[in-house]
Structure 1
Amino acid sequence: MKKFFLFILTILTGGLSPSYAQDKLTGILTNELMRNFEVMKQLDVPVYYISLRVEDSESYNITGSNGAVTQNRYQKGRAMAITMRVGSPAFDNMHYSGNMQNIKRVALPDTDIEEEIKLSLWRALQQAYSEAKDKLQSNFTEQTTRPAEEDKSPDFSIEKASKYYEKPVPFSDLGFDENEFINKTNELSKVLSDNRDVLINFVNVTSNLTRGYFIDTDGASVVQNNPSIRIYLGGYVMADDGMMLQDYRTYFGKKVADLPDSEKILSDARELSQNLSTLKKSPKIDSYTGPVILSGEVSGVFFHEFFGHRVEGARMKSGMDAQTLKKKIGETVLPQRLSVTFDPTRSKYGNSILSGDYKYDDEGVRGQKVEVIKNGVLTGFLMSRIPIEGFSKSNGHGRGVLNAGTETRQSNMIIESTKPVTAKEMHEMFVEELKKRGLKFGYRIEKVSGGLTMTSSASANAFYLNPLIVYRVYVDGRPEEMVRGINIVGTPLNAFSQILAETSEHAIFNGMCGALSGSVPVSAVAPAMLIKELEFQKTGDSQKMDPFILERP
């Protein structure tokens, strides 16, 4: 019986060990972390939690303009971030700052030199402890001068320790060929520079492979790979009144084979060039309030800004946040036909690659599908390891760049309707809505450069979108006309009630979202939408430049 037990134990413990044993860095960091933690948790001001994040990255970045490469950079390196918590989960050194302070970033050797790795960690732990201890004392002092907090939830959630390991992936598996992409960069930027209307043109290709490690004192050990390749091409033109205008195209994949073929991208570059010339000659419009059609891509950005940031759970705990949706769990906040899900476990939508996917977040918690809106009703929030009232656990949405810490962030947002309409039906509804208001035309927004949302309680609770490609749509059936010169501004609660219809077809926006924890990849999958009322503001002179006194070469 004893021998049988030992045999089973060997299988259970040995079944995992080969994978971890193959990764020397994990073993070095785990052993050294736990050795130091045993001492630090016994100090007068005890450490109760430490996590290590390591990124081992290899990347190429090629930038070109006017048919020539302006930058070709290859980088390879390792870096580590240490998060340390002192006090207790109920009240610790990050009480007033979330996870955005006491993050120690340390460079590590590219190879597994054990002594150097141990010394780097040892030095950084001592520095992190000194700062964490001081911050805890500062928080205790601050607590005596602040009014009582409404949310009494702890500062940190204790989660099940995750164990996950992926084998290393060689950079060559991405299929990236430096010379091939230098030639593509030159060819694409030459297409744009051949158009004399285009004053500034650029092409950027980034191919990156990051091997991420997460280790903590609760026993978590996660090792995963994150490959990506992005192509960005764009240009600027100047209207006769000096307004600078832009348009762009982007492509995303996990490897080169995921991208469209070269002919498709080249064709898109030619179309982009033509669009820029049309944009240069387009009329400037006045302010407008009325019905608007948003393309699927724009709807995704629209929802990301006015809705997505307001379901990031940790914001509900900040006294500086407007907390628009905090008290609305169980209430109808969107039309009943709409549901909104965030799903980092999904790597594709149809045949399209999504950029906001991951297996484990940056706090070592498995990414989870979260339905925040079901049939129009708010059912939950995205959660990191910062609990809020009513939501004590993470659902795998703690994210951030290595040197900025983590906070609750979005992943793959998917918007679905139970009563979609065709594009033709939406157009007919749009025209009918314009006629009701006695308007001769409305607008269709095809593309935006991005957006900004203000969630602070100290500022206007609003969102802004910067449209790039906008068409005037006439009620009498005249051809659509490209126009320029507006920004979109709105308030979230008003926007929630203005959505009249959605199409059955979805578009995908793969982009980077910036916040206090840095820029993280996200996706939005959304249908085109008919909005009952949006407000356009005329752009100011900030987009204008003095006309050039010299002729373009």
Structure 2
Amino acid sequence: MKKFILLLASLLASLLLPAQDKMLDLLKGELKSQMATLQKGEYPPYYMNYRVIDNFTRTVRSSMGATTSVEEEKQIIFVPQVRIGSPEFDNFHETQNGVLTNRFAGPPTILLPSDLTNGLDAFKETIREEVNSRYKYAKKTYEAAKAKSGVKVENEDKSPDFTPAKAEKYFEPALSADKIAFDTDLWQKKLNKYTALLAENKDVIGANATLNYKIWRKYFVSTEGAEIAENRVYVVLSIKGTTMADDGMELPLNKSYMAFSLDELPSEALIIKDLKAMSTKLSELKVAPLVQPFTGPSLLSGSASGVFFHEIFGHRVEGQKMKSDSDGQTFKNMVGEYVLPKNLSVYMDPTMKKYHGNPLNGHYIFDDQGVRGERVEVVKDGKLLNFLMTRTGLNGFLRSNGHARAEFEYDPTSRQSNLIVETNNYKSDAELRKMLIDEAKQQGKEYGYFFKSVTGGFTQTGRTGANSFNVTPLEVYRIYVDGRKDELVRGVDMIGTPLSMFSNIDAAGGDFEIFTGTCGASSGNVPVTAISPTILVNKVELQKKAKPTVTPALLPRP
């Protein structure tokens, strides 16, 4: 009876998993063969996986009403991982990557042939060479880690280097040609129309548009039995207009639209409406006054506060980096404590494909360790509960929640997905504005600031330098306490340190905004989303941007 049940379970599994494509079968075969071969070596691997990214990207660029480039990139990238030692202590104990990297050069790009019939020998040889190279590097880093563990101060974190995870089996058929069709001529005309519209404004010195249409087919197989083939499609339309003040300061404004298909992008009428508003705002920025250094109260719009939380909070709850003593470990020992106001909650959710109907750039089903992505309640009502975990353990957190992510060639580490900030104590825009003015008066300030849009930022999380952040605003207004009209200003960066900034958050609104972007960190660039309401901060620090080195043109733009 037991044999019959096992046979039935096997049959059902085969019915649930459709006929797999040739790539997946070849990877499974090569993985099994290489694992068996390496068992004869000095340090037999206890675990291996193969990642393959079949990347097909079309890119169209336009500037000032004319096409500047049309590109098509097709490549199949191979990234193996070899682990030797034991799950408690292995060759990744002291390093994130399974291949030599440095601050100037990332991992090599290993390309597989696309013709799996005529190129089969080359396919197998490429895999074997790279796996052999990674195995040699694994031996070197494992021996170095063992030697270092014998002489350095003992790490307080005793968690294993590799924690257990379910071996998933998941298969999506490859997308058919009609699903990924792309009319290059049509999109050249659209982008040229958009940039020409901005270029009609003589105050605009740069009008650029880029459409990226990315089709990724991601494969993952492991010696634990994981078999995954997943499709990911990203469409991102980015439009940037730039003006220049009389002192030579370049002043850009950006607008981005993200979708999972070309048909999901906003209508041309809506985009043109947005660009007309951008053009008007660029002319206002050109003559806006320059900001002086300032400390005082500010409002951050939903998109601005989304970047704010991504940079100064999100990077500090990425669990894997906290295992290293070189990390600042801002929150490592604060689980169960209040780290944000009690009216705020923060969660990360890669399973969320849309938020109130808006597509989210940080969506995926499986992370780059083959673990199914999970919603993670990081902060609930101000209290820190969890971190973004990979299969690298952390004291008190011994399982992955599906946040191991990497750009094509890199080994994965903890990264953000869709970050969502929510409040349980809604304040209207009018209430927030009044609170800002009241706070400015109390501090003896003539005005506070409103950050309407930002372009991104960066943060330092290590302990060898200043544990700080810098957010780059694009559209900023002074809000005067005496009722004068709000004043657009320019030339400012928001700076600070994380813990002091978190303690300065006073209130949040209920209306959300979405910031779509790409996050660059130690495992390369990954798509992310940040969603947040407007927040009131009782004290921010602003510094002047670097002095321009460009002299404005003497002749007017043609």
TM-score range, shorter chain: over 0.9
Match of residue 299, structure 2, among 272, 293, 303: 293
Partner of 2:211: 205
Partner of 2:550: 545
Instruction: Give the deviation of 1:2 after TM superposition.
Output: 9.6
3-state DSSP of counterpart to 2:150: helix
Partner of 1:229: 235
Match of residue 443, structure 2, among 410, 417, 437: 437
Q: Distance in 1 between matches of 2:213 and 2:83?
A: 35
Instruction: Give the deviation of 1:485 after TM superposition.
Output: 1.2
Partner of 2:65: 67
The residue correspondences of 1:37-436 to structure 2 (distance < 5 A) are 37-99=35-97, 101=99, 105-113=109-117, 114-170=120-176, 172-174=178-180, 176-436=182-442
3-state DSSP of counterpart to 1:323: coil
Instruction: Give the deviation of 1:22 after TM superposition.
Output: 3.3
Q: Distance in 1 between matches of 2:234 and 2:337?
A: 39
Match of residue 33, structure 1, among 31, 40, 48: 31
Instruction: Give the deviation of 1:177 after TM superposition.
Output: 2.0
Q: Deviation per CA, 1:309-345, whole angstroms, max 9, x where unpaired? A: 0000012111111111011001011111111110111
Q: 234-243 or 348-357, which moves further after superposition?
A: 234-243
Whether contact under 8 Å (1:454, 1:463) holds in the other structure is: yes
Q: 111-120 or 380-389, which moves further after superposition?
A: 111-120
Please, what TM-score do these two structures have when normalized by structure 1?
0.96
| Structure 2 unaligned spans of 5+ | 101-106
3-state DSSP of counterpart to 2:350: coil
Q: Distance in 1 between matches of 2:546 and 2:3?
A: 81
3-state DSSP of counterpart to 2:439: helix
* Percent identity (aligned): 39
Q: Distance in 1 between matches of 2:35 and 2:550?
A: 58
Whether contact under 8 Å (1:174, 1:256) holds in the other structure is: no
Which 4+ stretches in 1 moved above 6 angstroms? Answer: none
| Structure 1 residues 279 and 171, CA gap change in structure 2 (3 angstroms) | farther
Instruction: Give the deviation of 1:123 after TM superposition.
Output: 1.9
Whether contact under 8 Å (1:81, 1:104) holds in the other structure is: no
Whether contact under 8 Å (2:354, 2:360) holds in the other structure is: yes
Q: Distance in 1 between matches of 2:253 and 2:6?
A: 66
Q: 337-346 or 7-16, which moves further after superposition?
A: 7-16
Instruction: Give the deviation of 1:548 after TM superposition.
Output: 2.5
Q: 505-514 or 84-93, which moves further after superposition?
A: 84-93
Whether contact under 8 Å (1:104, 1:124) holds in the other structure is: no
Partner of 1:478: 484
Q: Deviation per CA, 1:359-414, whole angstroms, max 9, x where unpaired? A: 10011000001001011110110101111111111100000012121110001111
- Is 1:15 the equivalent of 2:28? no
Query: What amino acid maps onto 2:283 in structure 1?
Result: S
| Structure 1 residues 273 and 252, CA gap change in structure 2 (3 angstroms) | same
| Structure 1 residues 79 and 441, CA gap change in structure 2 (3 angstroms) | same
Whether contact under 8 Å (1:55, 1:213) holds in the other structure is: yes
Q: 284-293 or 149-158, which moves further after superposition?
A: 149-158
3-state DSSP of counterpart to 1:186: helix
Query: What amino acid maps onto 2:258 in structure 1?
Result: F
Q: Deviation per CA, 1:52-88, whole angstroms, max 9, x where unpaired? A: 1111121210111011111100122211111111122
| Structure 1 residues 190 and 472, CA gap change in structure 2 (3 angstroms) | same
Query: What amino acid maps onto 1:52 in structure 2?
Result: Y
Query: What amino acid maps onto 1:75 in structure 2?
Result: E
Partner of 2:103: none
Whether contact under 8 Å (1:82, 1:105) holds in the other structure is: no
Q: Distance in 2 between matches of 1:152 and 1:3?
A: 41
| Structure 1 residues 104 and 27, CA gap change in structure 2 (3 angstroms) | farther
Q: Deviation per CA, 1:121-171, whole angstroms, max 9, x where unpaired? A: 122221221221122222222223322112121211221111111121135
Whether contact under 8 Å (1:100, 1:406) holds in the other structure is: no
Q: Distance in 2 between matches of 1:68 and 1:14?
A: 52
Q: Distance in 2 between matches of 1:137 and 1:389?
A: 24
Whether contact under 8 Å (1:82, 1:104) holds in the other structure is: no
Query: What amino acid maps onto 1:372 in structure 2?
Result: V
Whether contact under 8 Å (2:82, 2:98) holds in the other structure is: no
State the Cα RMSD in Å.
1.7
Whether contact under 8 Å (2:20, 2:171) holds in the other structure is: no
Q: 524-533 or 145-154, which moves further after superposition?
A: 145-154
Aligned residues: 550
Q: Distance in 1 between matches of 2:482 and 2:179?
A: 54
Instruction: Give the deviation of 1:104 after TM superposition.
Output: 6.5
Q: Distance in 2 between matches of 1:14 and 1:539?
A: 60
| Structure 1 unaligned spans of 5+ | none
Q: Deviation per CA, 1:477-509, whole angstroms, max 9, x where unpaired? A: 222111011111111111111111111111111
Q: Distance in 2 between matches of 1:22 and 1:324?
A: 45
| Structure 1 residues 342 and 6, CA gap change in structure 2 (3 angstroms) | closer
| Structure 1 residues 5 and 197, CA gap change in structure 2 (3 angstroms) | closer
Query: What amino acid maps onto 1:248 in structure 2?
Result: N
Please, what TM-score do these two structures have when normalized by structure 2?
0.95
3-state DSSP of counterpart to 1:145: coil
Whether contact under 8 Å (1:383, 1:396) holds in the other structure is: yes
3-state DSSP of counterpart to 1:15: helix
3-state DSSP of counterpart to 2:143: helix
Q: Distance in 2 between matches of 1:220 and 1:193?
A: 52
Q: Distance in 1 between matches of 2:307 and 2:417?
A: 13
Whether contact under 8 Å (2:62, 2:195) holds in the other structure is: yes
Whether contact under 8 Å (2:492, 2:544) holds in the other structure is: yes
Q: Distance in 1 between matches of 2:413 and 2:40?
A: 29
Q: Distance in 2 between matches of 1:324 and 1:3?
A: 53
